[in-house]
Structure 1
């Protein structure tokens, strides 16, 4: 798959909230994930670890909606904006926004970086 095809497929799966399928289909087995600096457990690698992190995040929330922008592709990188409207287990409802930056090598995503406000 080309970077454009991977980006389009990730957007499609993200809009359907099918993150496990996205990881299994589009990510390299040694892919890494990077949260904002200072986030506990924010630097991880390995496909199984990325899937477990994503599933644990999903378990703690009730999702009311998700928005995913069209991708911006540049060489081996692409980015998308994502917003998610959720209610946490404690009953707090919030809408989170982030930029997600991905790097592709040899037809698979090798890294993801999430950029969001910390306050």
Structure 2
């Protein structure tokens, strides 16, 4: 798959809420996921770590809406903006958030994802 095809497939799966398939199909075994300073988990490594982080996140929130933009591709990278409206179960607080997600692709797999947002903006 080309980087554009990988980017399009990730967006397609995320729009369906099928994050597990996205991780299994598109990410390298030794991928890295980076969150900004102040996030509960700063970095995880590997598909298993990515899956555990995703499961924990989904267990903590009740999503109301989720939007992801079409991808923008440049060299070995692509990015998307993400908007989410969710209630966080531990606090019952509902919040809207937005972020930029940046992905790096090598050898036909996503090797790194990094999210840019302001944590705890409530």
Q: TM-score by structure 2 length?
A: 0.93
List gaps (5 residues or longer) in structure 2: none
Displacement of 1:75 in angstroms is 0.7
Instruction: Please show how residues 85-96 of structure 1 align to structure 2 within 5 Å.
Output: 85-89=85-89, 90-96=91-97
Alignment of 1:72-91 (within 5 A): 72-89=72-89, 90-91=91-92
Task: Determine if the alignment matches structure 1 residue 17 to structure 2 residue 34.
Answer: no
What is residue 32 of structure 2 aligned with on the other side?
32
Find the counterpart in structure 1 of residue 102 from structure 2.
101
Alignment length, in residue pairs? Answer: 119
Paired residue for 2:60? 60
- Structure 1 regions of 5+ residues with no counterpart? none
Tell me, what secondary structure is at the counterpart of 2:118? coil
**Runs ≥4 in structure 1, deviation > 3 angstroms?**
none
- Is 2:2 the partner of 1:2? yes
- Give TM-score scaled by structure 1 length: 0.95
Distance 1:40 1:59, change over 3 A: closer
- Aligned partner of 2:49 in structure 1 is 49
- Superposed CA offset, 1:30-77 (max 9, x none): 000000024343111111000110011001111111011010000100
